[in-house]
């Protein structure tokens, strides 16, 4: 496993009125990340556990104050990176210590 951080996909804007209207109109369609989508604009950094093929297994979203927003996947949310076809290469991630990732995961995995 590779453990790293990325700033990719951290430029989310709050939903505008058009997006909100569309979401209301399509409320009956299940969403993969219903609990965490509203938190996307707060994400400053992603911590990602990546397998040998570059696919994300687990992710931790961190805000600008270095607080954990959520850990996914969990029983209600698939996760952002864990539910997309993105394949990471080692040079796309800033290395982080496995023990640090595991500690944050274990302390916060029940968030959202």
The residue among 109 and 34 whose pLDDT is bigger is 109
Residue the block writes with tokens 């992603």: 46
Q: In the chain, how many H helices and how many E strands?
A: 2, 5
The residue among 65 and 24 whose pLDDT is bigger is 65
pLDDT of residue 90: 82
Secondary structure of residue 58 in the 3-state scheme: strand
The residue among 17 and 47 whose pLDDT is bigger is 47
């Amino acid at each position: 496993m590779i453990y790293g951080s990325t700033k990719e996909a951290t430029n989310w804007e709050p939903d505008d009125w058009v997006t909100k209207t569309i979401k209301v109109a399509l409320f009956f369609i299940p969403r993969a990340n219903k609990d965490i989508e509203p938190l996307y604009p707060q994400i400053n950094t992603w911590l990602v556990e990546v397998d040998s093929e570059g696919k994300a297994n687990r992710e931790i979203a961190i805000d600008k104050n270095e607080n954990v927003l959520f850990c996914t996947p969990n029983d209600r949310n698939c996760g952002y990176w864990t539910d997309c076809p993105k394949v990471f290469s080692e040079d796309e991630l800033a290395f982080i210590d496995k023990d640090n990732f595991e500690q944050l995961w274990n302390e916060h995995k029940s968030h959202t």
